[in-house]
Structure 1
Amino acid sequence: MAEAHEAVAFQFTVGAEGNELEPTQFILDVYVPTHIRMYIYIVFISKGVSVNVSYDVFKALVYAGLHSWKLRCRRTMNSLYNSIYPGHPLRGIAWCGMIYVLNTKDRDPSNGLIDWLNSNIFSRYCAPDNSRTLACLVFGSGTYVVLIQIRQYILKKLFSYHGWMYQEHGKMSGIGPKVWGGLVKLFIGRNPSLYSYQSVLPTLPLPSLDDTLRRYLRTIRPLCDDTEYRRMEVLAEDFRRTIGKKLQRYLWLKWLISTNYVSDWWEKFVYLRGRSPIMVNSNFYGLDAAYIHPTTIQTARAANVVCAAFQYRSELDHQETKPLMVQKLIPLCSSQYERQFNTVRIAGKEADKIIHYSDSHHVAVYHKGRWFKVFMYYQNNLLQPCELQLQLDEIVRDTTPPDYGEEHLAALTAGERTLWAEARGKYFLSGVNRVSLEAIEKAAFVVILDDDEFDIGVKADDKYDTYANAILHGKAYNRWFDKSFSFVISKNGVVGLNVEHSWADAPISGQLYEYTISEDIMNFSYDEAGNTRGTPRFTALKPIKLKWSIPEGCNDMIETSLAQATKLYNDVDLHVYVHDAYGKNFMKKCNLSPDAYIQMALQLAHYRDSGRFHLTYEASMTRLFRDGRTETVRSCSIESTEWVKAMDDPTVSKSERVKLLRLACDYHQQQYRDAMTGKGIDRHLFCLYVLSKYLEIDSPFLQQVLHEPWKLSTSQTPANYDDQRLKYLIKKNPDLAKKYGIVDNRNLASIGGGFGPVAADGYGVSYIIASEDLIFFHISSNKSSSVTDSKRFGQHIHQVMQDMRTLLTAD
């Protein structure tokens, strides 16, 4: 998705915030974890030492400490459970009991090992009865662990088979795949928690150098003339015969000792080493439900959404969320969920870093230039939406002006990273600025109460464009782009999501967003006036306005960063095209993959827009492997270009065009499957390039490959609604389902989301198949480019989708 921007031209290169704090309190609030801080407060108070803390805040600290200890214990128990999955502790106890009973009945299942343990070890230290019991327990536990390890090893080998990927969706044909599917069902276990399958997921395979080079040359063939292609063949062959083999051997060593040979370098060099602004270039956005606008009261919508997100976080912490399964059989890696909440990207002079906090009890709220800290727990209970709305209402009513420099402060996160790192190190590592900054960075996430109103619906107009731009970048100073994600709630209650990209990929945020929207509408809901439901149980802590001491020099840096960001976002040409003539239902009836169908439509639209073929990026996932993230599908292929040229060639018959379209879609599907199963091209070449930089080896071939511009960068936003959970919500709240006309997930369909332009003279296109007959295309480019125009590209997509429907209907 947005990572394509940094993959091109790749180079190395909580207490009383805001008040004057006594030294003791400042040290405690800044440096000491909550549960330790609670103990220190108790000791200090018992000795009569003043720490300048109110009774309410002290109680909050006590309950926060208890919550943290409970969470740690729960995580420890989950880790133990996951370590023996698909076994279960109760089955282990039963196994040990059976061993003991058999031993007491003079039937030794250990072939003498229990007697040896008893006589040589335990009888020396324990009474005879106890020593035999311990020997049985040790033998039973050991054999149970061995059996679990064997079962986990078998599962890992079964998950390493990917032949099922190349069969028709949802079907298993042939004896081999059917036997494999039966074995998976036999060994996979029941009731997994979120991370139960992590240890049995296979390692991302390392492709052979010859295969990668062969596939690479095939992908560039339609983009080069004969002379250029022969030059690339020579460069590739020279690379293979010389330094390629050496780099491949080093990469094999990394593969041998890593859980994933790509992900750590991808995060470090593609994301965190980038020095350009992450606003627009890296961060992406998600938009609200298309059909339903449940309330126009800003604070009510914000309260429901925030409480739903905390409910989702609780399910992640307790690992109650089930891992995503492909065809309800193969688990996807869940590691990216770990940093979804309580996470921030910290700017550095040469490279950023990601900081994840184990827990957080508050959110940071921005409203009219001011920042607030809002507590989400009271006496160890998560606030209900009606209780949170009271705090948010108080923020909206507050007429306190922003401190000097506060209104535009967040622009530091929108500009160049080196400038933000310098300002952070110089002005935000001590005093009141440090305390207030940590209140934002340690928050679970950020909530933006925006001043603008947005109109949404399903009709195509410019209102979508304004809405999408606002969520992508806003005014640069009214978003905190470093947080893992931020909810943006408009003045009339429309929701958006801005996501920092380095910690995870779009499907993870999409799953949170869909959960949040469905809980907001179908569970929490609103009263007749549009406010949150329920009666507050207590008067919760009031929001704390963060205080800042911004000197003139710091304010100058803020304004410099704002100028950089303003220039950047003013150049963004973002258009949302709504295609409602038909959708995936028609594509499936034509026996074509919806994703491949849309990718071919984008190829034809781009060819008509630019007059030539270009290197095309489509993001696919590699989460079938442990710690997997993404791989590139090169959508512009020999097959796709032949079909595109045939569509505008009047001498080619309709039947031949249909034949070429099917061949192009089939080949695209094969490429997508290859990418998902570890046979991609670009991540392998990327890692070889990183190694060449480490070893200070120049490679003309790798330089050429890594600097090729992606003139068309595409990504599909998946719709991952949990159908079982949605059916439960509909059954639980039939009146709400009737009110909003919700019978399945189509009425909760999201408008989707998108990302900024990737190449200076190219397009970024994200699309979501929202329902059977509704597709949203989010098209971005640069206004400064003379060869791109996002609305024009949307018109080309509109015409192409019509042409393809006419072609297939006639066929």
Structure 2
Amino acid sequence: MSVLLFERQNIRHIRQVIKQYAKYSTTSSEEYQYLHRSEIPTLHFQTALPRLPIPKLEKTCERYLEAQRPLIPIAEAFEKTEANVKRFITSSGKLLHNALVEQDNKNKHTSYISAPWFDMYLKDRKPLPINYNPALIHVRGPKPEYETQLLKATNMVISSLRFMRSLRANILKPEVFFVNPKTPDQPMFTKIAKTLPPFLSYMYCYMNNAYPLDMSQYDHLFNSTRVPELDKDMIVQDVRAKHILVMRNGHFYIFDVLNSLGEILPPEDILAKIKNVLDDPRPPNPLPLGILTTENRNVWATARHLLLKLGNEKTLRLIDSALFNLVLDDDQILNDNVKLVRHFLHGNGKNRWFDKSISLIVTKDAVTGVNFEHSWGDGVAVLRYFNDIYKDSTRKPQVHPDTKPASSVTPDHVTHLDVNLDDQMSNIIKSTIHKYDQTCSSLDINILEFDGIGKKICKKNAISPDSVMQLGFQSAYFKLFGNYTATYESCSTAAFKHGRTETMRPCTVATKDFCDSFNLKKETNHSALRDKIKKCSEVHSQLTKEAAMGQGFDRHLFALKYLAEKMGRPKPSIFGDLAYEKLNHNILSTSTLSSPHVWAGGFGPVVQDGYGIAYTIMDDSLGVALASYQGQKNGAEFIDALRQSYKEILNILSQN
């Protein structure tokens, strides 16, 4: 009997070893550890990217005046602005431009806009939520059985880690814009592109209408956070950290998701750890520290230094260094689009850490999305991450409805971060909760979903879908106010090394001509109106092309103004002109991130009396999420005017 028992024990032990080995080999495999293995290395093109050009001063000033034409209706006022511009070209502007070119030639490792743009973000003292942090929300997954908070969060976390590991291993597919979407599927293209040295490879892509994009921002997706300091914040990163931060009910938790070799832990382990957080019976934290990240940056910086004095250095370091922030909310927001946008854009602030580069948010009913800090990067990097983790988590989920959490993982594997507070800090937190509630209550969110106008009808009429969206905004504003206003559309300059964004000015002489003709009934012939829409599209497309190629005017003028201040020079008259101030007081701030995986997006107005307009256009419909402040602008009225504008545009485009 003893021999038989010994053999049975040996067999059980061997089975356990085999099971553990199988588990190790599966989770250590390349198929689990990485999204994919790109034949072309991630950063293959990075050193070959062209530098962001500094436009000629004369062209910048010419484009600036053209943007001012529809905004300055009085001839005498325009002549004054024109005189300021001409004087600028021959005097201080010329000196500043030459100094900018000289400085740019000494810093060929980067772009002329990179440092000033970072400074602009990091020096601004306004709170991050609503003012700066945008939100993106995923569409629902295709399989309802996977749409639970636990499964969704676990699969999204693992996909995020697979993305991160692929990026750091230099095997994530490079970001390349293909004019012909079939080009990357051609074996010969990939074979040649990966074989040639970077510069020749870049030229080969260029000759094939493929444009590699800057990927220098991608590194700050992970282990990165913005830290408040007096007058100017800083971005910190610690790539050694192997844990993620999890927030629930205003509490902080951390646990490792990578082993000592930097490999992703087994999916059952990660599932068990997230389940432990969801099962934690702690009630909502009455003094949630995360609310402080909603504050004015100087106020938050002062409070953070008080927290350090109270012995919270380790806790803050663990928060800052985490790979990313996973936010688990108890809210259910399906079937309420306004609540959905509000939740991901700002929430109540109690279960957020807005300083973190990426916060991956998962609601009780498994709606997912991201809220991201904007200083370190732009939409191109975040959208790539956003898209890839959605596709990976839905097409190759690593945990399933029948997956059992690892029994070896106990609550001890999850660390609840304690925070030391005194009466002063407690009062600061309570005051901040009240202040943030007031801010969020003053924000109005309105949604427009409009059928009929989409990419198909635009293609049929040979016009740009984006130009039609922007024309609707101009027409709606004119209907309400009878004039035209400063309009901002973000355009990426990622085709260049360390490119950020350029401003595209969609309010043009052409859009003014159409809106005047149509709304004032100066023109009623549909054929003539359609021709005017086509003219708007031509101008819009040209401006977009110029902006994408670094030939806009806003960033150039911004850099010259920044340089004048840095050199201690008197402010040139062009920047003291009321027309310049009004142009940069962007009442209509607009942005789109087109993707089949985006359900909605949102960002706040950039000025108190403005609108924040996140929009998208599909094949047969369009959508707009409009943010405005109550008492400043009436968002519902703008949406009504916008709906009417699109109805009228649709009527024109539908005529044979």
Tell me if 1:763 matches 2:608: no
Partners of 2:211 and 2:259 in 1: CA distance: 40
- Tell me which moved more, 316-325 or 483-492: 316-325
Please give the secondary structure, in 1, of the residue aligned with 2:217: helix
What residue in structure 2 maps to residue 723 of structure 1? none
CA apart distance, 1:507: 2.3
Tell me if 1:793 matches 2:642: no
Partners of 2:457 and 2:355 in 1: CA distance: 41
What residue in structure 2 maps to residue 645 of structure 1? 516
CA contact (8 A) 1:289 1:750 kept: yes
What residue in structure 1 maps to residue 619 of structure 2? 772
CA contact (8 A) 2:454 2:621 kept: yes
CA contact (8 A) 1:765 1:777 kept: yes
What residue in structure 2 maps to residue 551 of structure 1? 422
Please give the secondary structure, in 1, of the residue aligned with 2:334: coil
Tell me if 1:714 matches 2:590: yes
Partners of 1:335 and 1:668 in 2: CA distance: 29
The one-letter code of the counterpart of 2:65 is: L
Partners of 1:256 and 1:618 in 2: CA distance: 29
What residue in structure 2 maps to residue 288 of structure 1? 138
The one-letter code of the counterpart of 2:88 is: F
Partners of 1:490 and 1:759 in 2: CA distance: 30
CA contact (8 A) 1:222 1:613 kept: yes
What residue in structure 2 maps to residue 802 of structure 1? 647
What residue in structure 2 maps to residue 274 of structure 1? 124
Tell me if 1:324 matches 2:197: no
Partners of 1:321 and 1:605 in 2: CA distance: 43
CA contact (8 A) 2:60 2:552 kept: yes
Tell me if 1:679 matches 2:528: no
Please give the secondary structure, in 1, of the residue aligned with 2:360: strand
Partners of 1:539 and 1:374 in 2: CA distance: 11
CA apart distance, 1:578: 2.0
- Tell me which moved more, 234-243 or 657-666: 234-243
Match of 1:703 among 564, 572, 576: 576
What residue in structure 2 maps to residue 335 of structure 1? 216
The one-letter code of the counterpart of 1:416 is: N
**CA 1:622–1:296: 2 relative to 1, 3 Å:** closer
Partners of 1:646 and 1:428 in 2: CA distance: 62
**CA 1:700–1:781: 2 relative to 1, 3 Å:** same
What residue in structure 2 maps to residue 453 of structure 1? 332
The one-letter code of the counterpart of 2:655 is: A
* Counterparts of residues 682-693 of structure 1 (less than 5 Å): 682-693=554-565
Tell me if 1:248 matches 2:93: no
Partners of 1:389 and 1:751 in 2: CA distance: 26
Please give the secondary structure, in 1, of the residue aligned with 2:254: strand
**CA 1:706–1:252: 2 relative to 1, 3 Å:** farther
CA apart distance, 1:399: 2.0
What residue in structure 2 maps to residue 14 of structure 1? none
Partners of 1:657 and 1:426 in 2: CA distance: 63
- Structure 1 residues 100-131: Cα deviation after superposition (integer angstroms, max 9, x where no partner): xxxxxxxxxxxxxxxxxxxxxxxxxxxxxxxx
Partners of 1:254 and 1:557 in 2: CA distance: 44
Please give the secondary structure, in 2, of the residue aligned with 1:382: coil
- Paired residues in the alignment total 583
* Counterparts of residues 126-165 of structure 1 (less than 5 Å): none
Match of 1:474 among 337, 347, 356: 347
CA apart distance, 1:526: 6.4
The one-letter code of the counterpart of 1:600 is: L
What residue in structure 2 maps to residue 781 of structure 1? 628
CA contact (8 A) 2:492 2:548 kept: yes
CA contact (8 A) 2:223 2:323 kept: yes
Partners of 2:246 and 2:417 in 1: CA distance: 10
- Tell me which moved more, 249-258 or 677-686: 249-258
What residue in structure 2 maps to residue 655 of structure 1? 527
What residue in structure 2 maps to residue 388 of structure 1? 270
What residue in structure 2 maps to residue 110 of structure 1? none
Gaps of 5+ in 2: 1-23, 29-33, 184-209
CA contact (8 A) 1:575 1:790 kept: yes
Tell me if 1:419 matches 2:289: no
Please give the secondary structure, in 2, of the residue aligned with 1:248: helix
Match of 1:752 among 600, 617, 627: 600
Tell me if 1:201 matches 2:49: yes
What residue in structure 2 maps to residue 131 of structure 1? none
CA contact (8 A) 1:411 1:558 kept: yes
Partners of 2:453 and 2:503 in 1: CA distance: 28
* Counterparts of residues 422-441 of structure 1 (less than 5 Å): 422-428=302-308, 431=311, 433-441=312-320
Partners of 1:800 and 1:623 in 2: CA distance: 33
Match of 2:383 among 501, 510, 514: 510
Partners of 2:366 and 2:124 in 1: CA distance: 35
What residue in structure 2 maps to residue 373 of structure 1? 254
CA apart distance, 1:450: 0.7
* Counterparts of residues 24-39 of structure 1 (less than 5 Å): none
Please give the secondary structure, in 1, of the residue aligned with 2:555: helix
- Structure 1 residues 392-426: Cα deviation after superposition (integer angstroms, max 9, x where no partner): 222222223577x7x42111111111111112122
**CA 1:402–1:656: 2 relative to 1, 3 Å:** closer
- Structure 1 residues 654-711: Cα deviation after superposition (integer angstroms, max 9, x where no partner): 1111111111110010001011111111000001101111222222311332563111
CA contact (8 A) 2:242 2:256 kept: yes
| Structure with more contact order per residue of length (Cα contacts < 8 Å, sep ≥ 6) | 2
Please give the secondary structure, in 2, of the residue aligned with 1:751: strand
Partners of 1:791 and 1:354 in 2: CA distance: 38
What residue in structure 2 maps to residue 132 of structure 1? none
CA apart distance, 1:378: 4.2
CA contact (8 A) 1:333 1:628 kept: yes
Partners of 1:354 and 1:429 in 2: CA distance: 21
What residue in structure 2 maps to residue 590 of structure 1? 461
The one-letter code of the counterpart of 2:102 is: L
The one-letter code of the counterpart of 2:593 is: T
CA contact (8 A) 1:583 1:774 kept: yes
Structure showing greater Rg: 1
CA apart distance, 1:548: 1.3
What residue in structure 1 maps to residue 440 of structure 2? 569
CA apart distance, 1:292: 4.5
The one-letter code of the counterpart of 2:329 is: D
- Tell me which moved more, 502-511 or 792-801: 792-801
Tell me if 1:265 matches 2:144: no
The one-letter code of the counterpart of 1:438 is: R
Please give the secondary structure, in 1, of the residue aligned with 2:356: coil
Partners of 1:532 and 1:312 in 2: CA distance: 25
Match of 1:487 among 343, 352, 360: 360
**CA 1:281–1:307: 2 relative to 1, 3 Å:** same
CA contact (8 A) 1:340 1:484 kept: yes
Please give the secondary structure, in 1, of the residue aligned with 2:79: helix
Match of 1:235 among 70, 77, 84: 84
The one-letter code of the counterpart of 1:231 is: K
Please give the secondary structure, in 1, of the residue aligned with 2:502: strand
Please give the secondary structure, in 1, of the residue aligned with 2:652: helix
CA apart distance, 1:794: 2.2
What residue in structure 1 maps to residue 5 of structure 2? none
What residue in structure 2 maps to residue 169 of structure 1? none
CA contact (8 A) 1:300 1:532 kept: no
CA apart distance, 1:618: 0.4
Partners of 1:585 and 1:687 in 2: CA distance: 40
Please give the secondary structure, in 1, of the residue aligned with 2:529: helix
**CA 1:706–1:448: 2 relative to 1, 3 Å:** same
CA apart distance, 1:452: 0.9
**CA 1:379–1:535: 2 relative to 1, 3 Å:** farther
Give TM-score scaled by structure 2 length. 0.85
The one-letter code of the counterpart of 1:212 is: T
Partners of 2:370 and 2:175 in 1: CA distance: 22
